[in-house]
Amino acid sequence: MAEIQIYIDGKWVPKSEAKVSVFDHGLLYGDGVFEGIRAYNGQIFRLSQHLDRLWKSAAKIELKIPVAQNQLANLVKESIRRNNFSDAYIRLLVSRGVGDLGLDPNKCPVPNIIIISDKLALYPANFYENGLESAIVSVRRNITEALDPAIKSMNYLNMILAKIEALKKGVPEAIMLNAQGHVAECSGDNVFYVKDQAVITPPVSAGVLEGVTRAAVMEIVKTKTSFKLREALFKPEELLKADEVFFTGTAAEVIPVTRIDHKPIGSGKPGPATRTLINLFKDLIRKETSPSV
């Protein structure tokens, strides 16, 4: 098997040669931004939405991405072409680049763009059939005034602490509250619930990442179903009383959540709204990533 080709420092190199400097502020401080993108059928899903978010994240940390958006789009596409991937996960990073040991980002003249494509680690199929179990963790999502959760920054410790707590509780994904005690999001997914024919998710102002999957699912709810769509703040009690709960994310797509804190949600089985949205999301992927598009 040929080694995966990775884009770094302006070149394509085999995985074994893809190394960052110990003076890169991405490593020293988590100073950088990234995207987690998916390819289906050799086509990148919602690439422009991911790149728009990358540019927004970069602007919020005053990082100027040193290439044009269409150039970076071409590099992302090249990354799956070079590696002959049909279905893949693409990790696109822009770090502040190499500087000295101080925090000052002005000492880092050249941001480093890295593109890694690889096979995707998926949740097991039985989670989609039977639902996954989650837990509300004690780690709160960063407050917007400290580190805006809308920035997909290379510092993911907030989510890693939540994930550690979830794994200790024996569940694969954590539900995090914001500082006010409202439900925010998961370590790598957005949260939705269904109640009385309405689909509800926290607004971005709750302090969550504006998920590309979240946006696609909201669009589907509005245009392809008769459910009402609401962005609203809610407390964990609302989730526990919901008819259905599901998470959305690039890796998970739409995944049913059937137990939270050991309590069953609704019937304790994936519900009809979630099943419908799983199927409609799959239709959207097929439509947007068929080779004719």
The residue annotated as part of the active site, out of 56, 77, 107, 152, is 152
Residue placing its CB nearer to ligand PXG in the complex, 131 or 249: 249
Q: Say whether residue 212 binds ligand PXG (CB under 6 A).
A: yes
* Residues facing 176 on adjacent strands: 185
Q: How many CB atoms lie within 10 A of CB 101?
A: 9
Residue 284 CB, shortest distance to ligand PXG, in Å, is 13
Sole window of 21-29, 109-117, 127-135, 249-257 interacting with ligand PXG (rule: CB under 6 A): 249-257
Residue 248 CB, shortest distance to ligand PXG, in Å, is 6
Residue placing its CB nearer to ligand PXG in the complex, 111 or 211: 211
Q: Say if residues 249 and 122 touch (Cβ distance below 8 Å).
A: no
What is the DSSP code string of 5-50? EEEETTEEEEGGG----TTBHHHHH--EEEEEEEEETTEETTHHHH
Q: Say whether residue 25 binds ligand PXG (CB under 6 A).
A: no
Residue 141 CB, shortest distance to ligand PXG, in Å, is 8
Sole window of 4-12, 70-78, 209-217, 274-282 interacting with ligand PXG (rule: CB under 6 A): 209-217
Residue identified by tokens 């049913």 is: 256
Q: Say whether residue 167 binds ligand PXG (CB under 6 A).
A: no
Q: Say if residues 69 and 59 touch (Cβ distance below 8 Å).
A: no
Q: Say whether residue 36 binds ligand PXG (CB under 6 A).
A: yes
Maximum pairwise Cα distance, the chain: 57
Q: Say if residues 48 and 125 touch (Cβ distance below 8 Å).
A: no
Residue 133 CB, shortest distance to ligand PXG, in Å, is 17
Q: Say if residues 187 and 174 touch (Cβ distance below 8 Å).
A: yes
As given in the structure block, the two tokens for residue 22 are 């110990």
Residue 193 CB, shortest distance to ligand PXG, in Å, is 16
Is the torsion defined by CA of 197, 199, 202, 204 positive or negative?
A: negative
Going by C-alpha positions, the residue among 156, 159, 169 that lies closest to residue 139 is: 159
CA 24, 27, 33: angle at the middle one, nearest 5?
Answer: 90
Q: Say whether residue 188 binds ligand PXG (CB under 6 A).
A: yes
Q: Which of residues 51-110 bind ligand PXG (CB under 6 A)?
A: none
Report d(CA 192, CA 82) in Å as an integer: 37
Residue placing its CB nearer to ligand PXG in the complex, 91 or 169: 91
Candidates 112, 134, 190, 274; binder of ligand PXG (CB under 6 A) is 190
Residue placing its CB nearer to ligand PXG in the complex, 35 or 244: 35
Contacts of 104 (CB under 8 A, 6+ apart): none
- 60 flagged as catalytic: no
Candidates 213, 258, 274, 289; binder of ligand PXG (CB under 6 A) is 213
Q: Say whether residue 201 binds ligand PXG (CB under 6 A).
A: no
What is the chain's length?
A: 293
Active site residues: 152
| Chain residues in the site for ligand PXG (CB under 6 A) | 36, 159, 185, 188-190, 209, 211-214, 248-251
